[in-house]
Amino acid sequence: MPVRKANRLELDKKSIEEYIGEFLSYLSVERNASPRTIHSYGQDLKEARAFLASLGIGDIEEVTVPSLRELLKTLKERGLGPVSISRKISTLRSFFNFLELSDFIRYNPARRLVLPKKPKRVPVYLTKEEVERLVWAAKRAKCNFMGERERNVAMIKLLAYAGLRKSELLSLDWDDVNFTRKTLLVRKGKGNKERVVPLHPVLVEDLWEYLQTRFPLKCKALLIGRDKGRYHENMFRYDFKKIVRLAALDKRVTPHILRHSFASLLLKSGANIVAIQEILGHADITSTRIYLHMDMGQLHESVERLDLG
């Protein structure tokens, strides 16, 4: 009688926690995901594993569509909105797709999960005058070391006039600035994608002025803290809030809102949507299209100016 050959499902039987570990390693090694992304996926899956354990599920093959729907129902009852729940579903889909493609499971229960409808929200953004007020505050905030004022101005303007993400800003080096071509190389964009951002001449001047305060240049990081090392997120958060408080604007201000503001200013200046997509580093133009809703009034004015006889 022939001996049945064991398949991978039987040979590689692991706990759910071990499968999660393999998935996170895959994200790091194969997908080159950022530490922040890996941490976020890990937290979502740790939460899912704990919930499944509360249902008495300890084997990955025991996870069903109803058990995952029960998890999402519990999250909704806990007060999570459509955006947060959509992210949790995306995490579960990615995890179970990985298990299925790796032949760790026979059936993928996450395939039948449906994303909740998200309300269409127009991004909050600052006007040109409000951004200028923020720059004014950066110039007048109390400083503790030479070059801090120039750094603060460069920091705010790189967010508001170059549309950088916070993580991109903090990872910049002086080698990324081309003063001759007036461009900035963003090496660590979303998904570790590189892009070149054109710089306004005024921003180039501000960066040059800041660079003069850094000689002799002992740290390659573009932005540094009071310890003369790379500017870290906690220090950035503290200084950014200090500047925002001094500006005393009536709107909520975050680094990402400054990114929205830059997109709005570009649209008002006549830039087309594809150019804005390239400058912001959006992988999908649908992420950029939302800015069209922000300036619908301007678009109406453009249509009304058409000479139709």
* Whether residue 165 lies in the annotated active site: yes
112, 140, 169 — which closes off a domain? 112
Sign of CA dihedral 103, 105, 109, 115: negative
Active-site residue (options: 41, 161, 210, 291): 291
- Residue 292: its pLDDT value, please? 57
User: Domain for residue 238, yes or no?
Assistant: yes
In order along its 309 residues, the chain shows pLDDT tens digits of 343 344 555 546 789 999 999 999 999 998 888 888 999 999 999 999 999 999 999 999 999 999 999 999 999 999 998 889 999 999 999 999 999 999 999 999 999 999 888 766 666 789 999 999 999 999 999 999 999 999 999 999 999 999 999 999 999 999 999 999 999 999 876 667 789 888 999 999 999 999 999 999 999 999 999 999 999 999 999 999 999 999 999 999 999 999 888 888 888 887 777 777 777 876 665 665 666 555 555 544 544 554 554
- Catalytic residue selected from 49, 157, 165, 260: 165
Active-site annotation holder among 200, 220, 256, 300:
256
User: Considering its fold, how many domains does the chain have in total?
Assistant: 2
Catalytic, 282? Answer yes
CATH code of the domain covering residue 149 = 1.10.443.10
Q: CA 259, CA 250: separation in Å to the nearest integer?
A: 18
Cis peptide before 216 (omega within 30 of 0): yes
The last residue of a domain, from among 112, 136, 164: 112
Residues 6 or more apart from 87 whose CB is under 8 A from it? Answer: 40, 44
Whether residues 143 and 32 fall in one domain: no
Would you say residue 309 lies in a domain?
no
CA distance 288 to 291: 6
Told to judge if 149 belongs to the known catalytic residues of this protein, a careful annotator would answer no
Q: Cα(92)–Cα(65) distance, rounded to whole angstroms?
A: 11
Q: Are residues 65 and 209 in the same domain?
A: no
Q: Report CA dihedral (209, 210, 212, 216) to the nearest 10 degrees.
A: -170
Of 88, 149, 214, 259, which one is the catalytic site residue? 259
Range of the domain at 91: 9-112
161 is catalytic: no
Residue 260 among the catalytic residues: no
The kind and range of the H/E element at 198 are strand 195-198
Query: Are residues 49 and 17 in contact, defined by beta-carbon separation less than 8 angstroms?
Result: yes
